Amino acid sequence: MTRPTGTLTHSSQLFTAIASAGFVLTGVVNTFLGPILPILSARWALSDSRAGYFFATQFLGSILGVIVSSFLLPRYGFRLIIGISYLLMAVGVSGLLLSEWRYALLGTLALGLGLGFVIPATNLFVSKTNPERRSSALSILNFCWGLGAVSAPVALYATAGRNHSSVFLLVLSVLLLVLAATLAFSTETTPVHENKKSIGHSPKQTEWHFAAIVGGMFFLYVAVEASVGGWIATLAERLAAGTSTRWILAPSLFWGGLLAGRGLAPLLLMRLRERAVALAGLALAGAALCVLVFSSHWQWVTAAGLVAGAGLAAIFPITVALLSRFQDMETKNAGLMFAMAGLGGAIMPWLVGAVSTRSESLQIGLMVPLLATVVLLWLHAIGNQGSQPVSE
């Protein structure tokens, strides 16, 4: 008997649980560079411009990982791709223990490759196995990612006070290796080939202009998220001016807002159209970014980070769900879209650092993601028709 679309075998259910747990570590690796960068910059005496190289290298590695995995995924399946990703991340995280910053960049490239493998593969796995409730299922998966993003600054705060940030890196490397070994002995039977069946979307939605809009959404969303998450700790540290060490928790509030928002997103998406949720969230995030740009108090900056995270929470799951409108071209186009996301993450955080160095003001640099948020809101206004499965 043919298994219904989206029904998982027991082995795939186990694989889903392992991959979801792994997405917690993915959230740690994806975001810990921001809160640890002031510590690394002090060790290596880096300017903002040079520190920005780490963000650019991570996301350039992510782009390369997306490109390579898009060719390997149809041939070898989700298990191998996701397993390799955690091995690469383990190598990359341990590379940050090196004494020379140029060599540590190679480690950042490796963890970026791992992220480029794991993020699209895991999102596609969940999307394909939940065709009737994509946005909600993806919000839950990315809620796991948010757990890791929130925990990273807290763990760094606990270890940095004792000058043991290297312990954090070692423990994270070991956990990533354990996860890679666990995946090596797991099984996964979900097919990676395209589902030819249409899900009720108009063929016009696969035209080139829709692809350009969705590509812009991926590019700008990750660019904004990476820029705010990556630089908010540095901004809070400078505004605190030695009066407090609690600035290191600023990213936790940002990722905490993202986590809380993704926990609420499935409930909102049951009652509101995706377009309405996206537009409201981006308007909220834009208002919070205005506070980052114009406030002179680190307390306001950390609070604004919380609001910005909440506003951005549902945007990525909603954007990934739009890939289903490519119908039988979903997996092929997904590689390009996630590559655009990596490109945004590579360019904009570096650009923030470059503008900051040139203007001698990080807040002026953060006007870049503020403007990007406005453009992203416009793209969702014209390109997201707000459709959602009835079962949600």
DSSP-derived letter for residue 81 is H
DSSP-derived letter for residue 243 is S
Would you say residue 334 lies in a domain?
Answer: yes
Residue 309 or residue 7, greater confidence? 309
Would you say residue 72 lies in a domain?
Answer: yes
Would you say residue 23 lies in a domain?
Answer: yes
Provide the 10 A C-beta neighbour count for residue 91: 18
Distance between CA atoms of residues 107 and 293, nearest Å: 32
* Contact in structure between 281 and 261 (CB atoms under 8 Å): yes
Range list of H helices, 130-249:
134-160, 165-184, 208-240
Q: For residue range 33-49, what is the model confidence (pLDDT) as tens digits? A: 877 887 888 888 887 77
Model pLDDT, residue 286: 95
Would you say residue 391 lies in a domain?
Answer: no
CA-based nearest residue to 9, from 171, 150, 190: 190
> Which whole number is the average pLDDT over 249-255?
81
* Contact in structure between 302 and 236 (CB atoms under 8 Å): yes
Model pLDDT, residue 175: 93
Question: Could you tell me the CATH number of the domain that includes residue 75?
Answer: 1.20.1250.20
Q: For residue range 360-375, what is the model confidence (pLDDT) as tens digits? A: 899 999 999 999 999 9
What is the sign of the dihedral through the CA atoms of 48, 49, 51 and 52?
Answer: positive
Would you say residue 251 lies in a domain?
Answer: yes
pLDDT band at 77 (very low <50, low <70, confident <90, very high): confident
Model pLDDT, residue 133: 73
CA-based nearest residue to 64, from 121, 25, 114: 114
Would you say residue 342 lies in a domain?
Answer: yes
Q: For residue range 180-239, what is the model confidence (pLDDT) as tens digits? A: 988 877 666 555 554 444 444 444 445 678 888 999 999 999 999 989 988 888 888 888
Domain that holds residue 313: 10-189+203-383
Would you say residue 50 lies in a domain?
Answer: yes
* Contact in structure between 334 and 284 (CB atoms under 8 Å): no
Q: Which stretch of 6-10, 71-75, 321-325 has the lowest confidence by average pLDDT?
A: 6-10
> Which whole number is the average pLDDT over 243-262?
80
Distance between CA atoms of residues 144 and 324, nearest Å: 22
State the total domains in the chain.
Answer: 1
> Which whole number is the average pLDDT over 145-169?
76
* pTM score: 0.75
* Contact in structure between 340 and 60 (CB atoms under 8 Å): no
Model pLDDT, residue 327: 62
pLDDT band at 331 (very low <50, low <70, confident <90, very high): low
* Contact in structure between 295 and 85 (CB atoms under 8 Å): no
Would you say residue 2 lies in a domain?
Answer: no
